[in-house]
């Protein structure tokens, strides 16, 4: 029988992922094990998944426990979506860097926020991986937790259990590009590769026609289009390719858009387009609203529609269990897949999935200027991951010194002071580094 464990089941992803799994045609039963250290949110997740099971008419068993070792044994797939200490630290990770002029929009992947989220998350994840090795060593790990590249990189370095990091940026961005270019999505062709949150659509066409000249003309003739996705479309003008993550996220991963207020005013408008403090101000609200929506769905005062999402987890599960080939975009160890990126890093490429598992496809070479932007982020991830593995405070400090946004704003002395303030503020949430 099929067994799937979801660790961090209180996450907003659980609803979509469980729905997708339970809507797999021909997969009539099995076990879904839910794990979360928050008893209240775990119970909400358990009741929600049970309701989806009932609505689909299938015969899945649903287990739930705050102790993962009680329920994950024998899993074929383990889905990771943990959040470690985020509510308690989100203000520190925004407000302390702000004192130094580092104005983050999201701060969960790179930058001061991304670094300290890495330091918070990886020690807990290492413990979870050791339990997975002991209790379900033949499984596949599907990671949704950010920082995606850092979590997937760490996993690939500490275990032989296969891991793939899953995001929704390729699916969402490709659909946006079809809309921007005014072509039917199912008729558009593309080739994308890079790293998570910085994959590049190096080819984009419709009926054999290159769509980049079309997009370039549209942002000249239609100013409202540029305002709709300001950082990514502006960057496309100069870099020659569109990137996979939202304008707000992307503005933090390169040194060009957030280093002074006039640039933020020009390019970074509201919300996910780059508003300063957007994540810190809203994430606690989003968590509460998600829980409230689940309660409403359980009580029947809000609809719970049975429909599949565009997430990749269930696509992988179906392809493996049925041996029916599918193509997804996954974050996997590079090992030469993208020739001009670090071979021991993690890259995001197209992957064939079938009964043999996730099989990444060779990409080749990125245009060198795009590869260089990716390499700057990969160096940050490498140092952050190794700082945790080696318990090395200076290595973590050096990671922040390499961060593109922080380096664009601060001196080395200022970065060192900022790191010390954050490290002191987050005692109890981050490991003691030597």
Q: Looking at the annotation, which residues are catalytic?
A: 168
Contact residues for 162 (Cβ-Cβ < 8 A; gap 6+): 140, 141, 357, 358
Contact present, 252 and 403 (Cβ < 8 Å): no
Host H or E run for residue 250 = helix 247-253
Distance of CA 288 to the CA centre of its chain: 21
Binding annotation for Mn(2+)? 167, 197
Classify residue 225 by its DSSP letter. Answer: H
Contact present, 207 and 187 (Cβ < 8 Å): yes
Q: How far apart are alpha carbons 168 and 315 in whole angstroms? A: 13
Q: Which residue has the tokens 């870099």?
A: 239
Q: How far apart are alpha carbons 304 and 172 in whole angstroms? A: 22
Host H or E run for residue 381 = helix 368-390
Contact present, 216 and 234 (Cβ < 8 Å): no
Between the two ends of the chain, the Cα-to-Cα distance in Å is: 46
Contact present, 199 and 193 (Cβ < 8 Å): yes
Binding annotation for substrate? 146
Tokens of 149: 């590249």
CA neighbor of 117 nearest in space, from 88, 143, 95, 157: 88
Binding annotation? 146, 167, 197
Burial of residue 146, with CB atoms counted within 10 A of its CB: 0-12 exposed, 13-18 middle, 19 or more buried? buried
CA neighbor of 153 nearest in space, from 331, 329, 311: 331
Positive or negative, the Cα torsion across 228, 234, 235, 238?
positive
Q: How far apart are alpha carbons 279 and 384 in whole angstroms? A: 22
Tokens of 402: 């390499």
């Amino acid at each position: 029988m099929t067994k799937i464990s979801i660790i961090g089941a209180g996450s907003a992803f659980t609803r979509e992922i469980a729905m997708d799994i339970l809507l797999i045609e021909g997969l009539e039963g099995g076990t879904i094990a839910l794990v979360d250290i928050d008893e209240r949110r775990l119970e909400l997740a358990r009741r929600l998944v049970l309701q989806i099971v009932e609505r689909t008419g299938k015969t899945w068993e649903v287990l739930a426990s705050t102790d993962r070792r009680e329920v994950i044994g024998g899993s074929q797939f383990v889905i990771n979506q943990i959040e470690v200490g985020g509510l308690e630290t989100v203000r520190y990770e925004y407000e302390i860097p702000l004192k130094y002029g580092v104005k983050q929009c999201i701060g969960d992947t790179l930058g001061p926020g991304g670094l300290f989220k890495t330091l918070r998350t990886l020690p807990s994840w290492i413990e979870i991986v050791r339990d997975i090795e002991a209790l379900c060593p033949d499984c596949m790990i599907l990671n949704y937790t950010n920082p995606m590249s850092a979590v997937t990189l760490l996993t690939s370095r500490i275990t032989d259990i296969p891991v793939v990091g899953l995001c929704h940026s390729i699916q969402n961005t490709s659909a946006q590009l079809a809309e921007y270019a005014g072509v039917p999505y199912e008729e558009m062709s593309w080739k994308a590769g890079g790293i998570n949150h910085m994959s590049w659509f190096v080819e984009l066409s419709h009926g054999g026609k290159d769509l980049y000249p079309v997009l370039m003309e549209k942002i000249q003739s239609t100013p409202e289009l540029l305002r709709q996705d300001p950082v990514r479309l502006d960057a496309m003008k100069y870099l020659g390719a569109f990137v996979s993550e939202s304008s707000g996220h992307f503005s933090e991963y390169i040194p060009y858009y957030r280093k002074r207020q006039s640039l933020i005013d020009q390019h970074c408008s509201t919300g996910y387009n780059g508003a300063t403090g957007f994540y810190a101000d809203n994430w606690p609200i989003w968590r509460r609203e998600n829980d409230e929506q689940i309660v409403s769905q359980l009580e029947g005062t809000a609809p719970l529609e049975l429909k599949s999402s565009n997430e990749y987890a269930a696509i992988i599960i179906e392809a493996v269990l049925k041996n029916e080939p599918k193509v997804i975009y996954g974050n996997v160890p590079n090992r030469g897949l993208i020739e001009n990126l670090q071979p021991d890093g993690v890259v995001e490429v197209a992957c064939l999935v079938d009964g043999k598992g996730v099989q990444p496809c060779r990409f080749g070479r990125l245009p060198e200027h795009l590869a260089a932007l990716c390499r700057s982020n990969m160096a940050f991830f490498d140092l952050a991951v190794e700082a945790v593995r080696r318990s090395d405070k200076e290595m973590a400090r050096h990671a922040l010194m390499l961060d593109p946004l922080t380096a664009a704003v601060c001196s080395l002395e200022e970065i060192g002071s900022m790191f010390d303030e954050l490290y002191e503020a987050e005692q109890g949430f981050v490991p003691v580094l030597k």
